Structure 1
Amino acid sequence: MSRPVLEVKNLKMYYFTNKGVVKAVDDISFTLNKGEVLGLAGESGCGKSSLGFTLLGMPTPPGKIVDGSIKIEGREIVGLPEDVLRKEIRWQKISMIFQGAMNALNPVYTIGYQMTEPLIYHKGMSQEEALDRAQKYLELVGLDPEIVYRYPHELSGGMKQRVVIAMALLMEPSVVIADEPTTALDVIVQAQIINLMKRLKKELNLSMIFITHDLSILAEISDKVAIMYAGKIVEIGDSEKIYYEPAHPYTQKLLAAIPRLHEDVERLEFIPGQPPNLINPPKGCRFHPRCPYAMDVCREQEPEMKEIDKDHYAACWLL
């Protein structure tokens, strides 16, 4: 079997603030194979986007990687100098589709300028070659190539999101991280973007990490799903197993909160309480203050990730 395109082991990234150390990414491990989509879901503030930026080797200040390993195509990137990360890793090997396309695009430069700059800098292309490639990738995401001459404010929200997707694919990276790419878009444009991502995955054999808090979107696109809570992955596995046989109480509650079209559900579930403070997370299992099945051991000892079925893991004392 070929080596995974991305291997993450015991990764820890903490924010060192005046109020204390925020354990935003705390001992996370997973692998991503070529052509595979890993869906990453969880409540707001659980560390999903922090994990995405950490995988790029650029945690938002005052965040620092304190432990663990990130290997892209077998190459360790934790500890590499910033100039090496910038020149050889980011956008060449791993790229990101940012949440909120308008914030990712510079309003004073044309789309063409913003797309050709990395090609000229990283690939040594001429202006003409870079512009030709930028137009090709705009066509790939369903846009008119002439958009290279426009400014961001001249485009709709959905068009800007497609531009950002094209920019993430431009350098042909091994891994693409999509950080809630459908946020702030209406449902019609959301569906168009999801269909575009599915098509690109098939055509380009993309390896992707799709970050969202919407489990119904993940059902459309993901091969594997990882459920994140309070800085940790609590369950990970094949998407069908996660949806049909959720093992962790948090996953069960999340899925029970989604309306079903073809099932009679008397009322939707909700999770009482709120996510914990990651400066001082609860002892033992971090979900125990909100869990209906919490036992004494849950309050004292942190559960280890256990294999409950082939390629299906969860961290819960009930198992």
Structure 2
Amino acid sequence: MAKKILEVKNLKMYYFTSRGPVKAVDDVTFDLEKGEVLGLAGESGCGKSSIGFTLMGMPQPPGRIVGGSIKIDGREIVGLPEDVLRKEIRWQKISMIFQGAMNALNPVYTVGYQMIEPLIYHKGMEREEALDRAMKYLEMVGLDPEVVYRYPHELSGGMKQRVVIAMALLLEPDIVIADEPTTALDVVVQAQIINLMKRLKKKLGLSMIFITHDLSILAEISDRVAIMYAGKIVEIGPSEKIYYEPAHPYTQKLLAAIPRLHEDVEKLEFIPGSPPNLINPPSGCRFHPRCPYVMDRCKQEEPKLIEVDKDHYAACWLL
């Protein structure tokens, strides 16, 4: 049996606003095995990035973890002091490739300065040793080592994305969260980044959570896929099961909305309506106002994830 490197149970993270708490991550449970890639997909605003920041122990203000458990390699991190998280967990055990490399890099410092800072802080390296290691990792992601002497504005979008990936790998963490790493890149560079991530996973044995709203990208890289809707995971299972035998109506609609290259599709599907307000989400199943198969029970009782096939779970009263 594969080792579970990450275990998340009943995780809740709300943004506390003047109008009430926004239930961005609401009772989410999943795990991640050593060397596995878990894809996390769903519409914008469903809580994907919020999960990423929460797993890092750094929910964005005014966010706060209000319940649940996050165990990394068997160690509970919910409730750990900030200085312990900074010194022992972030970037050492779990790191993140932030969405939008253009905003993740400081424009007034060279790439090298930004890369060696965590090596000096966490590893106690001398500047020259840290710079050598930064060059090695830039080379690993397909960049010229001399990029360490350049400023972010001197790099293309794809080069910046590779720098951010190298920074996430510098301290050799067990888990890497990739938050939409191909957003705002053209399709050629997207393919290069995806192939790079696949090579790094194989070479370094990375465990990865790959966050995106693009299901076609997840088909390339994920071992398992979790579908999120309105702060909850509504379906999770092996990639093949999710793509060929989707069980939840929301997953079915998402997949039906993807154009196909090798088959004729007379009309692409769409999901009527819009995602719900997470300050006051719908009662029962949160998808029921948009679901074509809605029943009275859907409006009153919230469905739990049940096993519909081996390792394949979905939360729907139809099942």
Post-superposition Cα deviations, 1:128-152, rounded to whole Å, max 9, x if no partner, equal 1100100000000000001000000
Post-superposition Cα deviations, 1:277-318, rounded to whole Å, max 9, x if no partner, equal 000000000000000000000000000100011110000000
Shift of 1:263: 1.5
Shift of 1:2: 4.4
Post-superposition Cα deviations, 1:137-180, rounded to whole Å, max 9, x if no partner, equal 00000000010000000000000000000000000001000000
Distance in 2 separating the partners of 1:295 and 1:175:
40
Q: Does 1:199 align with 2:216?
A: no
Distance in 1 separating the partners of 2:139 and 2:253:
41
Distance in 2 separating the partners of 1:102 and 1:186:
14
Structure 1, unaligned runs of 5 or more: none
Residue number in structure 2 paired with 1:189: 189
1:149 is aligned with what amino acid? Y
Which secondary structure does the structure 1 equivalent of 2:268 belong to? coil
Distance in 2 separating the partners of 1:107 and 1:225:
35
2:197 is aligned with what amino acid? M
Task: Report the number of matched residues.
Answer: 319
Post-superposition Cα deviations, 1:156-205, rounded to whole Å, max 9, x if no partner, equal 00000000000000000010000000000111111110110111111111
Q: CA RMSD in A?
A: 0.5
Return structure 1 stretches of 4+ with deviation > 6 angstroms: none
1:283 is aligned with what amino acid? S
Distance in 2 separating the partners of 1:235 and 1:302:
14
1:177 is aligned with what amino acid? I
Q: Does 1:66 align with 2:66?
A: yes
Residue number in structure 2 paired with 1:298: 298
Distance in 2 separating the partners of 1:71 and 1:193:
29
Residue number in structure 2 paired with 1:150: 150
> Within 5 A, what are the aligned runs for 1:108-119?
108-119=108-119
Post-superposition Cα deviations, 1:238-259, rounded to whole Å, max 9, x if no partner, equal 0000000000000000000001
Return the TM-score normalized by structure 2.
0.99
1:76 is aligned with what amino acid? E
Distance in 1 separating the partners of 2:215 and 2:105:
28
> Within 5 A, what are the aligned runs for 1:71-90?
71-90=71-90
Residue number in structure 2 paired with 1:276: 276
1:84 is aligned with what amino acid? V
Q: Does 1:211 align with 2:214?
A: no
Q: Determine what percentage of the aligned residue pairs are the same residue.
A: 86
Distance in 2 separating the partners of 1:267 and 1:12:
38
Structure 2, unaligned runs of 5 or more: none
Return the TM-score normalized by structure 1.
0.99
Given that 1:3 and 1:74 are in contact with CA atoms closer than 8 Å, whether structure 2 keeps it comes out as no
Residue number in structure 2 paired with 1:18: 18
Distance in 2 separating the partners of 1:178 and 1:93:
15
Shift of 1:3: 3.2
